[in-house]
């Protein structure tokens, strides 16, 4: 087993490789993952907002700035 300390010590290129390998493994078993009911409800509400044209979108840079403001 790889320790968290070992992961912290990896160079960025290797961290990205590990992250991609984990993502590939997880996404292959996607059907095994259960979405909690509260998350499904949130996703359903958001999907309805998109379909009805009521959804509002902002660019990623603005979203990051908004998130940083909210957590400070």
> How do residues 34-68 score in pLDDT, each as one tens digit?
889 999 999 999 999 999 999 999 999 999 999 99
Q: What is the mean pLDDT of residues 1-20?
A: 94
* Lowest-confidence pick of 19-23, 29-33, 36-40, 53-57: 29-33
Q: What is the mean pLDDT of residues 8-36?
A: 91
Contact predicate 24/32, CB 8 Å? no
Query: pTM value?
Result: 0.48
H helices present in 1-72, as ranges: 4-9, 12-28, 37-51, 60-71
| DSSP category for residue 1 | -
């Amino acid at each position: 087993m790889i320790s968290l300390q070992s992961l912290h010590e990896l160079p960025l290129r290797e961290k990205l490789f590990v992250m991609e390998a984990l993502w590939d493994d997880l996404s292959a078993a996607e059907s095994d993952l259960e979405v909690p009911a509260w998350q499904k409800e949130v996703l359903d509400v958001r999907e309805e907002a998109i379909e009805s044209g009521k959804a509002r979108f902002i660019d990623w840079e603005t979203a990051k700035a908004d998130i940083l403001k909210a957590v400070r």
